[in-house]
Amino acid sequence: MRIACWQAACGSPDVPHLLARLREAARRAAREGAQLLVAPEMTVGGYPLRPGTLARAAEPLDGPHCAAISEIAREFSIAVVHGWPEDDGTGVYNAARLVAADGGTLAAYRKAHLFGDVDTSRFVPGDHGVVQARLGGLTVGLLVCYDVEFPESVRAHAMAGSQLLVVPTALMRPWEFVARTLVPARAFESQLYVAYTNWIGERGGLDFCGLTTVAAPDGTRVTLEDPVEGLLLADVDPAVVAKARADTPYLLDRRPELYEGLPARLG
């Protein structure tokens, strides 16, 4: 399956403007033969969200912004992963949604590991570690940004059968090593593809570093090295996953019984 990751420049947080830009990215991705378009964290409203923008952008799963993205998917017959502030009536979550090419919702995930005040002051943490769906013959899992920096989160996806892990992100400087080192390591050690899609530019006092990356389970990767808006195209092959798991059998050689009884937290 060919995927396209949209490395997007920070700009106006106006939701209609962002949706128009997402529509153009979907048009270009479909023209390039992609079956899935992945957008950055908090696609609706931008990241970080200011209070006024949050109030305008937050909505339930069946809200009008999500419906507009479903229409984009239908228009170009392309699946889409996007972020948005999900308001379920009890709290607001930093969420990601996988939309099928027919516009239907395949999966929705709430960020479990919140990063600093930019997340904890606005969002409630999700309480589901593994959220998956089938797409294009692959088992696709969802995480958001900081989640991928926890190896147990990615390993849980691997053990549950995820072959492609999609991670909308908002990685800022000076943590470029996350994209360059941690993301490829997660893909290799858990034997799956990781599609890590970032913003570029400055917003809300944060400087986003780009480096959108698709890391493969065989140790290879493709990355948008230049801090420019654009699409990163990559082909995801389940045969590569199967071969990597056979060649480097981390998942088979695990000994989880050795780790039972460890404390949930330090201190």
Residues with catalytic roles: 41, 111, 145
Listed in sequence order, the residues at least 6 apart from 156 whose beta carbon sits closer than 8 Å to its beta carbon are 129, 130
Cβ pair 160, 189 in contact under 8 A: no
256 C-beta neighbours (distance < 10 Å), count: 8
Sequence length of the chain is 267
Distance linking the first and last C-alpha atoms of the chain: 45
**How far, rounded to the nearest angstrom, does the alpha carbon of residue 252 sit from its chain's CA centroid?**
26
49-to-13, 17, 73, 111, 135 alpha-carbon distances in Å: 8, 15, 24, 15, 30
